[in-house]
Structure formats: structure tokens, C-alpha cells
């Protein structure tokens, strides 16, 4: 089943609760929170206080995508704030197995993320530990970038590995998910579609979430 995961990165942060509520009315079922530290990626965004505030305004799972150095240092604070899913970058973790265990020990769903230049087969040893694998289909740091087409091959490979290894992780894609790319992304096998600019970019989150989700669902119906 495909799910739309609105990314608040492109929302109006001064009206965040309303923006999230609108995206939820439009069919979003998980809320994606991009956490950036200005070191791992060349941008700074938000942290646990925003997660704690959002927690009071939505019951949807909060999917925190950590684009930060030393993520282990902050995992307890995200748990305390009410995060449900936490993903860490393969490229940011010196001890990825330990980081994923730490997330699970704090009662959250662990996810792993790969940058565009990282091969998904490198994840084989830890695939059995994760709830979701996030394929970055742009270089992390900014919203509104163009989808990198070879990401589709990574999504297909993750689907194949899941079947071969008899696992059940979910496949999430992040970056450049929009009307012109969503059908090929869904056909490749992605189930969790993160979208920032396509949902919030024009200030009509409910309408734009709904139309993107409908396009994804049409593609999913054809792919079955
Ligand atoms: C980028 C973030 C994305 C971002 C995607 O580093 O990880 O979640 O919000 O933005 P769009 O959907 O605009 O490409
Ligand atoms: Zn993200």
C-alpha cells in the first residue's frame, strides 16, 4: 500500500500545526521531519522541541529523518519529544548497528537512509534490523530539487533484497517526488512517498497532498 508522507521542510513554519492538519486532511498518513545540523548537510532546520510541539497537534506517526553528525547523542531527546520513527544515515554512523539498536531501545522504529552515491547492497548486514529504508533521491539538505533517476534502480533492488531475505522493511523515497515522477517511483516499488515541495510549496497542502496521493494510488493500481 502506498502512503503519502508530507515533509514539513517546505511548510510555513509559523503555521505548522495548520499545515500538518491540512496535509492530513489531504491524505498524508505519516509526517516527515527533516533534522539538519549544518555539518552533515549544508543547512540547519529543527530538532526535538519542534517534534514535541507537533506531538500535541497530530496523532500521525512522526518520521524523523536525522541528517546530523553523531545522531546517537540525540536519540534519547527525540524519544522524549514523541518521535515514532527515526532514521539515520549510513554515511553519518560510524557504528550503524549500534545506532539502530539505540533507536529500538528507545521504543522507536529504526530506519536507515542512503545518500544518492551510496549503494544499497552495503545495507545487507543490517536490513533485518530496520523498519524502513529511506532512499535519498536528491542530495540531502534542501527541498525542491530534481529527482535523480537512477534512484529507481535502488528501489527495485531493495524490493528484490527484501524478497530474497524474507524481510518486511518498508521502502521509503525522499526527494523530488512530484506529479512527473510519482508513477515511476511507485512502479519501482516505493511504498512511503516523502513529499515536501509538491505538498506545501504552493500553500494548498490539502489539495496538493490529495492530488499527489491520487496519482500514486493510480500508479499502484496499475502496478499490481
Ligand atoms: C531533503 C529532505 C527532504 C525534502 C524533500 O534533504 O530530506 O525530506 O523535504 O523535499 P522535496 O519533496 O521538495 O524534494
Ligand atoms: Zn527527508
Are 196 and 143 in contact by the 8 Å Cβ rule? The answer is yes
**128 Cα: distance to centroid of ligand 2 (angstroms):** 22
Does this model's pTM top 0.75? yes
Report the b/e string of 131-152 with b at 16+ CB within 10 A: bbbbbbbbebbbbeeebbeebb
Nearest ligand 1 atom, CA 144:
13
pLDDT band at 32 (very low <50, low <70, confident <90, very high): very high
Residue 5: which of 52, 54, 65 has the closest Cα?
65
Q: Which cell is 214 given?
A: 491520487
Share of the chain above pLDDT 70, in %: 100
| Atom nearest to 140 CA in ligand 1 | 6
Q: Is 6 in the pocket of ligand 1 (CB under 6 A)?
A: no
| Per-residue pLDDT tens over the stretch 124-136 | 999 999 999 999 9
- For residue 117, the model assigns a pLDDT of 98
Of all residues in the chain, what percent carry a pLDDT higher than 90?
99
The residue contributing the CA closest to ligand 1 atom 10 is: 143
pLDDT at 224 over 90: no
Ligand 1 site, residue 181, Cβ cutoff 6 A: no
Question: Average pLDDT, whole number, for the chain?
Answer: 98
DSSP designation for 120: G
pLDDT in tens, 60-94: 999 999 999 999 999 999 999 999 999 999 999 99
Amino acid at each position: 500500500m502506498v502512503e503519502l508522507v508530507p515533509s514539513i521542510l517546505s511548510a510555513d513554519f509559523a503555521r505548522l500545526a495548520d499545515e500538518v492538519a491540512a496535509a492530513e486532511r489531504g491524505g498524508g498518513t505519516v509526517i516527515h521531519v527533516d533534522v539538519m545540523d549544518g555539518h552533515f548537510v549544508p543547512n540547519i532546520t529543527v530538532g526535538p522541541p519542534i517534534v514535541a510541539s507537533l506531538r500535541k497537534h497530530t496523532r500521525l506517526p512522526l518520521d524523523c529523518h536525522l541528517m546530523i553528525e553523531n545522531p546517537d547523542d540525540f536519540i534519547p531527546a527525540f524519544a522524549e519529544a514523541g518521535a515514532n520513527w527515526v532514521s539515520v544515515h549510513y554515511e553519518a554512523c560510524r557504528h550503524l548497528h549500534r545506532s539502530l539498536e539505540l533507536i529500538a531501545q528507545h521504543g522507536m522504529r529504526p530506519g536507515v537512509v542512503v545518500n544518492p552515491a551510496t549503494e544499497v547492497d552495503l545495507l545487507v548486514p543490517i536490513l533485518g534490523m530496520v523498519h524502513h529504508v529511506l532512499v535519498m533521491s536528491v542530495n540531502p539538505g534542501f527541498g525542491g530539487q530534481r529527482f535523480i533517476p537512477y534512484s529507481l534502480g535502488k528501489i527495485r533492488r531493495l524490493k528484490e533484497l527484501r524478497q530474497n531475505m524474507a524481510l518486511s522493511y518498508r521502502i521509503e523515497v525522499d526527494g523530488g517526488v512530484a506529479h512527473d515522477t510519482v508513477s515511476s517511483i511507485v512502479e519501482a516499488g516505493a511504498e512511503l512517498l516523502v513529499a515536501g515541495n509538491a505538498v506545501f510549496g504552493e500553500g494548498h497542502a490539502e489539495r496538493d497532498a490529495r492530488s499527489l496521493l491520487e496519482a500514486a494510488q493510480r500508479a499502484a493500481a496499475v502496478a499490481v
